[in-house]
């Protein structure tokens, strides 16, 4: 099971006309990507797990990164107690046009389950910046900005 604490699934109602070219994505996707900004729906810091809109840098318990290699290999990292810790359950990723799919080795095949299958819609990937959207529950799109490390 992926150890990330939050639940998001991919969805978008935006127009796909500005989709980055698959070749651009494949060329630029290899490397280590760290979540550096969250904009849109997210969890409030309350026991009810209610949702609020945010425009912020991730706090320590929201931080994660992933390393992608050219052969489809992936290593997932969570930030815990001041250090990055790899999660051994994630070992691969797939690209389906502009959708980045990172799968847990425990995946049941249900690609809507954030715990075992993370789906990111790549909106932009240029230089050291990748912007993706994911959907938080039924609230709407959340924009995640990743920086290549």
In CATH, what number is assigned to the domain containing residue 124? 2.40.128.280
pLDDT in tens, 108-134: 666 555 555 788 999 999 999 999 998
The H-or-E segment that residue 23 falls in is: helix 22-28
Residue 37 covered by a domain: yes
On whether the CB atoms of residues 94 and 72 are closer than 8 A, the answer is yes
9 within domain boundaries: no
Which range marks the domain in which residue 28 is found? 16-148
Q: Is the pLDDT of residue 8 over 90?
A: no
Alpha-carbon gap, residue 52 to 125, rounded angstroms: 27
Give the predicted TM-score (pTM) of the model.
0.80
């Amino acid at each position: 099971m992926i150890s990330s604490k939050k639940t998001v699934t991919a969805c978008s109602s935006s127009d796909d006309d500005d989709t980055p070219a698959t070749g651009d994505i494949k060329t630029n996707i290899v490397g280590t990507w760290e979540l550096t900004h969250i904009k849109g729906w997210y969890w409030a810091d309350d026991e009810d797990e209610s949702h609020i809109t945010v425009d912020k840098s991730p706090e320590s318990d929201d931080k994660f990164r992933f390393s992608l290699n050219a052969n489809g290999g992936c290593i997932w990292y969570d930030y815990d107690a001041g250090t990055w810790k790899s999660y051994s359950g994630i070992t691969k990723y797939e690209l389906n046009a502009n959708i980045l799919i990172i799968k847990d080795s425990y995946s049941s095949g249900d690609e809507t389950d954030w715990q075992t299958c993370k789906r990111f819609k790549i909106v932009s990937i240029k230089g050291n910046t990748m912007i993706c959207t994911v959907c938080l529950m039924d609230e709407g799109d959340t924009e995640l900005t990743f920086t290549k490390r």
